[in-house]
Every structure is written in C-alpha cells, then in structure tokens.
Amino acid sequence: MLLPFAALFIAYALGSEARLADNPQDKLLPAPSKIAETAGRLITTADRRSGEILFWKDTFASLQRLGLGVAIAAVTGLITGLAIGLFPYVRAAASGFVSVLSMVPPLAVLPILFIVFGLGEVSKLALVVIGITPFLIRDLSQRVLDIPSELFVKAQTLGASSTVIALRVALPLVMPRLIQSVRLSLGPAWLFLIASEAIAADGGLGYRIFLVRRYLAMDVILTYVIWITLLAFLFDFALRRLSQRLFPWAGEDSL
C-alpha cells in the first residue's frame, strides 16, 4: 500500500531537484525539505499583521463551515429521505422535484446564492448544503423504499402508527446508510467549501490556497493540500469506526 506513495514522493523529489539545480529560487516545485520548513513555520508562527496563527485560524474557519454544512445537509437529507420513502403522498409530490433539483450544478447557481444570501458565511454554508443534500435525500429515500414491505406490515399488525414505524422501523435501518452517504458526500462537500472560499472570503483553507496562488507559493499550497487530504482521511476513518461501533449488525464493507 505504501509503494505508490513512495513512488509519488520520489518522482516529485526528482522533478524538484532538476528545476532547483537550474534556478535555486524556483517556486514551482519546492524541495520537500522546503515544504517541511514552510509547514513548520505555518503551524507555529503568528502572522505579522493580525498576530494570529493563520494556519489554525484557516483550519478552524473551514472546519466550522464544513461541519455545519454537512450537519444541516445530513439532518435535512435524513428527514426528507424518510418522508419520501415512507409516505406515498410525499413521494408523489417531492421525489420528482428532488431528482430534478439534484441535477442543478451547485457552482452554476453560485452568483444567485451571493445575491440571495450575500457574500458572508451563509452563502458558503448554502453552497455546501445545496451541493450535497439532494444526493443524500435520493440515496436515503431509495434505502427506505428498499426495506422489505413485510417489516412494515408486521409493525402495522402490531398496532404501530406511522410515527412509530418511521422512528422504530425505518430510522434504525437507514442510519448506517446515512453515515455511509455522508462519507461519500465529504469529497463533494470539500469541493464546494473550497470553491466558495475561493470566491469571497477573509479566511479558510480554500481561501489561503487561492490567495497565495497569486504569487506562486507552492510550498504553502502543498502544505495546505496535504493537510486537507489528512483531515478528509481522518473524517472518513472516524465515520467508518462510528458506524462499526453503533451498527455492528449492518455488516459494513471494508472500504
């Protein structure tokens, strides 16, 4: 498993060495040692102007946006997905709408989001929420529809109301699926987060990358990219463990 990583590193180091031999100040492929040095400084040194350590400020700002956005999307997706899957009337009214809505490319409506929600935090959250909620709704409602109808019939013969069926039969069955869908949505969620921060922001991981791109500070960009990758990997890992812990019966695959 480590072999491709090692190959990637060696290839990068060779390319970097070739360029640096020609121009020691080359910014395009900084030496791995230079990236490590920059990363060390970013993590520990306070900014000249604000006195804050920008790396942690950016990380905090982005994680807050990502966490809130994904949480709103997950709750909305779960409730709407359950309603569409369980109640034929809701399904008739909403499922077509949701399928069409999920086809709208979120980045294409970004200018509209700005005008509706302004340039502040709300439009950034809205982009993440709009970006992943339709997928969650469709995935979860399909999961509810896949539940064998015998289960519902049994519950009904035992006198369960619609609410009880939703909470005691359907909800436990779709919860593992919710975690898995959120795991799959995290990639797009990061994409939308970084896209929104690239356009108008004064902090955040995506903001910093697009800012320093202006003077080709590849050492900073690569540090942030590695950090984002690590964070994304950790979230995915944590969600997988959570799912295994809470729903061991769901037989999660190994991915």
Partner 1 sequence: MGRPSKLILSFLAATTLAGAPATAQEKTDFRVAWSIYVGWMPWGYMEDSGIMDKWAEKYGIDVEIVQINDYVESINQYTAGAFDGVSATNMDTLSIPSGGGVDTTALIVGDYSDGNDAVILKGEGDLTSLAGKPVNLVELSVSHYLLARALDSVGLAERDLDGVINTSDADMIAAYTTDDVQAVVTWNPLVSAIMEEPGANKLFDSSDIPGEIIDLMVVNTETLEANPAFGKALAGAWYETMALMAAGDEEALTAMAEASGTDLAGYKAQLDSTEMFYDPAAAVTFTESGELPDTMVSVAEFLFDKGILGEGAPSADFVGVAYPDGSTTGDAANVKFRFDTTYMQMAADGAL
| Contact set with partner 1 (CB under 8 A) | 3-4, 7-8, 10-12, 14-16, 18-19, 22-29, 34, 37-38, 41-42, 48-49, 111, 114-115, 118-120, 198-202, 207, 210-211, 213-217, 219-220
Identify which of residues 7 and 167 has a Cβ nearer to partner 1 in the complex: 7
Instruction: Enumerate residues 6+ apart whose C-beta is below 8 A from 2.
Output: none
Residue in the structure block whose two tokens are 């800012």 = 211
Query: From the CB of 15, what's the least distance to partner 1, in Å?
Result: 3
Phi, psi of 176 (to 5 degrees): -60, -35
CB of 205 to partner 1, least distance (A): 13
d(CA 243, CA 203): 32
Q: Rg of the chain's alpha carbons, rounded to an integer?
A: 23
CB atoms within 10 A of CB 123: 19
Rounded least distance, CB 41 to partner 1, Å: 7
Nearer to partner 1, 121 or 252 (CB): 121
C-alpha span between 71 and 75 (Å, rounded): 6
User: Between residues 38 and 141, which has the closer beta carbon with respect to partner 1?
Assistant: 38
Rounded CA separation 139/182 (Å): 10
Between 3 and 158, name the residue whose CB sits nearer to partner 1.
3
* Residue 17 beta carbon to partner 1: minimum distance, rounded to whole angstroms: 8
Q: How far apart are CA 194 and CA 207, in angstroms?
A: 7
**Closest CB 250 distance from partner 1, rounded Å:** 29
Helix (H, G, I), strand (E, B) or coil at 247: coil
Nearer to partner 1, 27 or 168 (CB): 27
**Residue 41 tokens, joined:** 């400084």
Choose between 18 and 238: whose C-beta lies nearer to partner 1: 18
Three-class DSSP category at 208: helix
State in angstroms the smallest separation of the CB of 225 from partner 1: 16
